[in-house]
Amino acid sequence: MSKYEKYAGSYDTWNWPQAVVLVRIMNDEGQSGIGWSEDGVEAASSIITRHFTRLLLGAEAAQIELLWDQMFRASIPYGRKGAAIEAISAVDLALWDLKGKALGQPVYSLLGGPVVANPMAYASHLQPVPMDLFVREAVDYVKQGYKAMKMRMPGNPTHGARGISANIERVAAVRDAVGDEIDLMVDAYMGWDLAFALRMAAALEPFHIRWIEEPLLPDEVGAFTELRRKSPIAIATGEHEFTHYGFKQLIDSGAADILQPDVHRVGGITAARRVCAMASAAGLEVVPHVFSGPTAHLVCSHTVCPLIEHLTIPVWAKNTEGFKPFILGEPTVVKGRAILSNQPGFGIKINSERLPHLAHWNA
């Protein structure tokens, strides 16, 4: 939306309300699992309550693959991407959480066991705030033990050469502040076009950038392919892609070096592990979008996942008094590594202080 002056200043001017759909699935033994996905416009919740319940109620909860396929096929007339797959994601995660609890095992054990117990996390924030705060934030991440960090880019094609200069100024400042041993990534959040992305890739080469993330609209697969072929820097994309079918197109087209499925969008753990399998066969890395318990379980159980994204709170904005997460038991990050528990399922529960009407879900 940055190409439109009316919406270029703030994400909040055009974004949907920040909300999620929470799903709880119970079995006959009274055990339950919890899953969630984005649902600011209440589309996913409507799909679940008005459609998927007829497929799920009375079904065998352990048949996760079967239920995923049935939900996907039944929703094809209005689905295949977007809200319908986000609805499937929430249900799928609840089923995996339930399976882990029923078997007394963390989900990462059900996925083959941990490849690395505490995956390396990268700090993901560095918005285009005033430069002194920007650099202060980057330096603080190094002090906290992060070995990698990602920054957002203020310049886009509407700014022309001035936009490229603004982006490079930010990158140069961070590289100078953190040194050469820290991995740096840049995120354009779909705000560039092919010509601008090619110019940016060339300009960024001296700064040893690990990847350029989502420079183009997700459906511009052909442009992604050309960019990847010509760019001296690895190209990452996929947070707005859906199901293994969508990622197969990216892989077959040679459109990306790094795939970034979001387990809360792509179709849950069931779809995300399919993406990991395809990436392994193609020699690609998978660095999932966003930080959550389900994401951490996926990352720690797959050899193709070298990093997990951690959505950090900047040192200059750490006043979080009064903030209450809706989920408790999510992994923490200590010295740049995600610390997972060995609790059954995803090891999570509802925060009854934040959502008192759902406190009974923890029974």
What pLDDT is stored for residue 363 in this prediction? 73
What are residue 310's DSSP bridge partners?
Answer: 123
Residues 138, 164: Cα–Cα separation, whole Å: 21
Using the predicted structure, report yes or no on whether residue 20 has a pLDDT greater than 70: yes
Q: Taking residues 56-79, report their average pLDDT.
A: 98
CATH number of the domain encompassing residue 308:
3.20.20.120
Print the domain residue range for 134: 121-339
* Integer Cα distance of 224 and 177 in angstroms: 31
**CA separation (Å) from 352 to 23, 291, 324?**
15, 21, 10
* 135 within some domain: yes
How far apart (Å, rounded) are the C-alpha atoms in residues 116 and 300?
5
Angle, helices 161-178 vs 131-144, to 10°: value is 40
Q: How far is CA 357 from CA 35, 91, 226, 294, in A?
A: 17, 20, 51, 24
Q: Using one digit for the tens of pLDDT, what is the confidence trace for 254-267?
A: 999 999 999 999 99
pLDDT greater than 90 at residue 80: yes
- Identify the H or E element spanning 121: strand 121-124
**Residue pair 332/141 in contact by the 8 Å Cβ criterion:** no
Rounded to the nearest integer, the mean pLDDT of the chain is: 96
For 279-317, letters b (16+ CB in 10 Å) and e give beebebbbbbbbbbbbbbbbbbbbebbbbbbbebebeee
**Which of 125, 289, 302, 310 does the annotation list as catalytic?**
289
Query: pLDDT for 269-323, tens place per residue?
Result: 999 999 999 999 999 999 999 999 999 999 999 999 999 999 999 988 877 667 8
Whole-number Å distance between alpha carbons of 114 and 55: 32
Mean predicted confidence (pLDDT) in 87-97: 98
Residues written for the chain: 363
Neighbours of 29 (CB within 10 A): 9
- CA-nearest of 203, 222, 205, 224 to 213 is 224
What is residue 323's predicted lDDT score, i.e. its pLDDT?
Answer: 80
18-24 mean pLDDT: 95
Which has the minimum average pLDDT: 195-199, 263-267, 351-355?
A: 351-355
The span from the CA of 296 to the CA of 311, in Å, is 13
DSSP reduced 3-state for 213:
strand
354 found inside a domain: no
> Is residue 302 flagged as an active site residue?
no
Which of 7-21, 186-200, 314-328 is predicted with the least confidence, judged by mean pLDDT?
314-328
DSSP 15: P
What pLDDT is attached to residue 320?
67
Confidence of residue 109 (pLDDT cuts 50, 70, 90): very high
Q: What is the pLDDT of residue 211?
A: 98
Nearest in space to 178 (alpha carbons), one of 233, 252, 224, 123: 123
pLDDT band at 8 (very low <50, low <70, confident <90, very high): confident
Write out the DSSP string of 306-361: --EEEE---GGG---TT---SEES--EEETTEEE----SBTS-EE-TTT-GGGGGG
Q: How far apart are CA 61 and CA 28, in angstroms?
A: 10
- Assess if residue 74 is contained within a domain: no
Q: Provide the domain count of the chain.
A: 1
Which range, of 55-59, 101-105, 115-119, 318-322, averages the lowest pLDDT?
A: 318-322
Task: Say what the pLDDT of residue 188 is.
Answer: 97
What is the rounded distance in angstroms from the CA atom of residue 184 to the CA atom of residue 195? 22
Task: Please indicate, yes or no, if residue 81 is contained in any of the structural domains.
Answer: no
Is position 36 within any domain? no
pLDDT tens for 139-172 read 999 999 999 999 999 999 999 999 999 999 999 9
Q: Is residue 163 part of a domain?
A: yes
pTM, entire model = 0.97
CB of 87 within 8 A of CB of 56?
no
Ramachandran area for residue 256 (φ above 0: left; ψ -120 to 50: alpha; else beta): beta
Does residue 286 fall inside a structural domain?
yes
Task: Give the pair of three-digit tokens for residue 96.
Answer: 């995996």
Q: Is residue 60 part of a domain?
A: no
Confidence of residue 326 (pLDDT cuts 50, 70, 90): very high
